[in-house]
């Protein structure tokens, strides 16, 4: 994923309602907008706004069937995000266990610090 794509997904998920919508989608697979409305305390125009943001980010797909919209998480985008986090986790584990204080130098992690950090 590009940085712009990641930024768009993170921005979309930063809203509590949109995060709740994604949780509903991951549990239900493809979900009708009417069912999403039943599970949230929001109006239809507000749901439409949130779904537009999620779809524009690429994380959610919309399938229209007559007058109904069915939403689902885009599995390809979800896999790419998972891979990005796996890469991040591997990079973090290579640098140490993450328990050292911010700004600690590598020799401090080994227990033999003689520098001024």
Q: What is the pLDDT of residues 28-69, one digit of tens each?
A: 789 999 999 998 989 999 999 999 999 999 999 999 999 999
Mean pLDDT, range 97-106, rounded to an integer? 56
Q: Give the pLDDT of residue 1.
A: 78
Mean pLDDT, range 104-109, rounded to an integer? 58
Q: What percent of the chain is predicted at pLDDT more than 70?
A: 77
Q: Give the pLDDT of residue 112.
A: 61
Q: Which residues contact 22 (CB under 8 A, 6 or more apart)?
A: 13, 54, 59, 60, 73
98 three-class SS: coil
Rounded distance between C-alpha atoms, residue 105 and residue 101, angstroms: 9
Mean pLDDT, range 67-83, rounded to an integer? 91
């Amino acid at each position: 994923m590009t940085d712009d794509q990641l930024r768009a997904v993170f921005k979309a998920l930063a809203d509590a309602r949109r995060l709740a919508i994604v949780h509903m989608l991951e549990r239900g697979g493809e979900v009708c907008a009417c069912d999403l409305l039943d599970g949230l305390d929001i109006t239809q125009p507000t749901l439409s706004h949130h779904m537009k943001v999620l779809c524009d980010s690429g994380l959610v797909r919309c399938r229209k069937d007559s007058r109904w919209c069915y939403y689902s998480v885009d599995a390809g985008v979800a896999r790419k995000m998972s891979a990005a986090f796996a890469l991040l986790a591997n990079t973090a584990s290579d640098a140490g266990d993450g328990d050292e204080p911010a700004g600690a130098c590598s020799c401090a992690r080994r227990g033999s610090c003689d520098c001024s950090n």
